């Protein structure tokens, strides 16, 4: 009979250590939302911040008192007392108590170099600081987690002293002793050996906290658990200063899916991908497509040769089932695409080409020809779907372009701030070429593309009110052949959105306005398709 894997506590430090990341600045309201997302996922402990160090963190704990978390316990973080002072007189320890969290995490020195050079006190006084502070919190009824800062470097420098610091914290009532790789440079084989050594000696639960400076934070966390650690700290999406903290989401997925640990409440692992994205949105940081398990490319395959095999046996080409972490497999359309790749991609979009090899072949030819001209459909699903629908003759015509004219104007006082203004006139036929309804619309904008977008929307607004709910969220321009300078081919990617989601379209031309127009109109057409807009019917127009 196999024993169930031991319980491992998941301790999130996104709101404290993770927030040290450059460009990550959360308001108190954002911090509360991140905490709610982490609680929804089912982490055991949420470290809310350092109440003694800044008023924002103190306010977080004040507001968090009114929140009932469904699963997670809150921890407040702070340092041990100052050298030569009494715990009762230490304002920062007082602030920790005032946070009224069930868990208090105290950080103390375990590396002689830091005691001698940073703290500039005696090694005995450092141990007394750890013991006094832990005892003070334990006496106040708190569960105390002790973070041994720079533990691995301390272990290498003076194993005996590093272990003495842990023993002092344990004797004073610490409930968990956390070995911190604060500089993030320790490698997995050393971690395995040191964690095994410490867990053998300790009666108290051992935890770990890794930074990613040697690109080993997740590996170190996983191997530390194998070596006996019962508590793992990390941050959402690997946020943290320098190269980040251990990515908690990868650690959770590794341990649950590959080592049989039950870390999250039953059924919650499938919320992993959406939680990762939600927190990236709250942090206002770009979500990394290549992020293991949760990124949009984590299970994306661009392999024409393998596509038919992928469709037959998806498990042969991915290390876990993407559904287990709430992600999904994706087949990318690329130049290498074989027919089966196109069929698989179309199936993903809900279009069945498998029964029609002739049509599949036509679509493939068009994809190849378009990619040769500079189109990229990998990130432009919507343009690909339009191409398939057009080939299959199942794309309604909502409007056709008769022509447009754009005037670009730059003015302003000489030497002063210049003003840019563009005007576009767009001539459209509504409902396609057999329909006589003709619209001429004018748009103004800060640049030619903005003006065209305005004119297009104005021209279509009356016939297709669905457009009101569709807006542009991103516009990217890429010059494909820099050597040809201004005559180079331009690729424009436009991302549009409605209330339910977003989609990306692509346009290519040697003229930037033409490429933009193409991507813009594809974006609008796809939006109308999604919205189920009825094309202006021929008979209605004829009656006009
Ligand atoms: Zn840290």
Q: Consecutive 10-residue runs of the chain (544 residues): their mean pLDDT?
A: 72 97 89 96 97 90 95 97 94 95 98 94 96 98 98 98 98 98 98 98 97 98 98 98 98 97 96 92 84 92 66 81 90 64 80 84 85 80 88 88 92 83 93 74 93 95 92 84 64 87 89 94 95 72 37
Determine contact, residues 227/219, Cβ cutoff 8 Å: no
pLDDT score for 483: 55
- Expressed in angstroms and rounded, the spacing between residue 133 Cα and the centre of ligand 1 is 20
- Expressed in angstroms and rounded, the spacing between residue 245 Cα and the centre of ligand 1 is 7
* Residue 405 φ/ψ, nearest 5 degrees: -135, 135
pLDDT score for 434: 62
> SS3 helix, strand, coil % of the chain, rounded to 5?
45, 20, 35
- Expressed in angstroms and rounded, the spacing between residue 215 Cα and the centre of ligand 1 is 15
pLDDT score for 224: 98
pLDDT score for 139: 97
- Expressed in angstroms and rounded, the spacing between residue 211 Cα and the centre of ligand 1 is 6
pLDDT score for 197: 98
Sheet of 501-509: strands edge to edge? 471-479, 490-498, 501-509
Q: What distance in Å separates the CA atoms of residue 327 and residue 163, rounded to the nearest whole number?
A: 42
- Expressed in angstroms and rounded, the spacing between residue 158 Cα and the centre of ligand 1 is 21
Determine contact, residues 515/523, Cβ cutoff 8 Å: no
- Expressed in angstroms and rounded, the spacing between residue 271 Cα and the centre of ligand 1 is 26
Q: How many residues does the chain have?
A: 544
- Expressed in angstroms and rounded, the spacing between residue 135 Cα and the centre of ligand 1 is 23
CA distances to 112, 150, 325, 388, 448 from 120, in Å: 10, 16, 47, 70, 64
Q: What distance in Å separates the CA atoms of residue 381 and residue 503, rounded to the nearest whole number?
A: 7
pLDDT score for 540: 42
DSSP code string of 385-451:
HHHHHHHHT-----EEEEEEEEEEEEE-STTS--EEEEEEEEEEEETSTT---EEEEEEEESSHHHH
- Expressed in angstroms and rounded, the spacing between residue 97 Cα and the centre of ligand 1 is 22
The closest of 490, 495, 528 to 380, measured between CA atoms, is 495
- Expressed in angstroms and rounded, the spacing between residue 514 Cα and the centre of ligand 1 is 50
pLDDT score for 344: 80
- Expressed in angstroms and rounded, the spacing between residue 280 Cα and the centre of ligand 1 is 20
């Amino acid at each position: 009979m196999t024993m169930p894997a031991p319980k491992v506590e998941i301790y999130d430090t996104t709101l404290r250590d993770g927030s040290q990341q450059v460009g990550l600045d959360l308001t108190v309201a954002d911090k509360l939302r991140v905490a709610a997302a982490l609680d929804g996922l089912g982490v055991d402990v949420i470290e809310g911040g350092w109440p003694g160090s800044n008023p924002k963190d103190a306010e977080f704990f004040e507001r968090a008192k009114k929140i009932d978390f469904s699963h997670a316990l809150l921890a407040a973080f702070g340092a041990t007392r100052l050298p030569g002072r009494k715990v009762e007189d230490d304002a920062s320890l007082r602030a920790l108590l005032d946070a009224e969290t069930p868990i208090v995490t105290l950080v103390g020195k375990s590396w002689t170099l830091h005691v001698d050079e940073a703290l500039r006190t005696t090694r005995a006084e450092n141990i007394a600081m750890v013991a006094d502070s832990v005892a003070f919190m334990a006496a106040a009824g708190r569960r105390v987690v002790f973070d041994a800062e720079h533990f691995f470097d301390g272990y290498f420098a003076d194993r005996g002293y590093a272990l003495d610091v842990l023993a002092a914290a344990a004797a004073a009532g610490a409930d968990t002793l956390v070995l911190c790789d604060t500089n993030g440079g320790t490698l997995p084989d050393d971690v395995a050996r040191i964690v095994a050594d410490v867990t053998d000696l300790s009666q108290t639960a051992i935890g770990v906290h890794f930074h990613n400076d040697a690109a080993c934070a997740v590996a170190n966390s996983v191997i530390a658990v194998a070596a006996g650690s019962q508590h793992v700290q990390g941050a959402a999406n690997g946020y943290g200063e320098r190269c980040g903290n251990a990515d908690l989401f990868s650690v959770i997925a590794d341990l649950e899916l590959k080592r049989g640990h039950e870390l999250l409440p039953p059924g919650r692992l499938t919320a992993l991908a959406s939680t990762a994205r939600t927190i990236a949105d709250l942090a206002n940081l770009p979500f990394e497509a290549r992020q293991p398990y949760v990124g949009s490319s984590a299970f994306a395959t661009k392999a024409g040769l393998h596509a038919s095999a992928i469709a037959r046996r998806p498990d042969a080409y991915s290390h876990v089932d993407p559904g287990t972490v709430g992600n999904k497999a994706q087949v990318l359309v690329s130049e290498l695409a074989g027919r089966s790749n196109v069929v698989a991609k179309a199936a993903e979009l809900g279009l069945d080409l498998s029964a029609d090899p002739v049509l599949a072949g036509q679509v493939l030819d068009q994809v190849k020809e378009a990619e040769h001209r500079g189109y990229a459909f990998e990130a432009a699903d919507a343009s690909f779907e339009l191409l398939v629908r057009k080939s299959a003759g199942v794309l309604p015509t909502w409007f056709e372009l008769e022509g447009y004219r754009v005037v670009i104007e730059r003015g302003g006082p000489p030497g002063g701030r210049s003003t840019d203004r563009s005007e576009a006139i767009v001539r459209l036929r509504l409902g396609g070429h057999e329909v006589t309804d003709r619209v001429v619309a004018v748009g103004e904008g800060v640049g030619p593309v903005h003006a065209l977008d305005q004119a297009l929307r104005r021209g279509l607004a009356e016939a297709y009110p669905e457009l009101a709910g569709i807006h542009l969220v991103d516009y990217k321009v890429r010059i494909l052949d820099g050597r040809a300078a201004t005559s180079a081919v331009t690729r424009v990617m436009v991302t549009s959105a409605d209330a339910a989601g977003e989609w990306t379209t692509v346009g290519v031309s040697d003229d930037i306005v033409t490429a933009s127009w193409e991507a813009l109109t594809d974006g609008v057409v796809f939006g109308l398709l999604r919205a189920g807009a009825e094309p202006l019917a021929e008979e209605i127009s004829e009656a006009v």
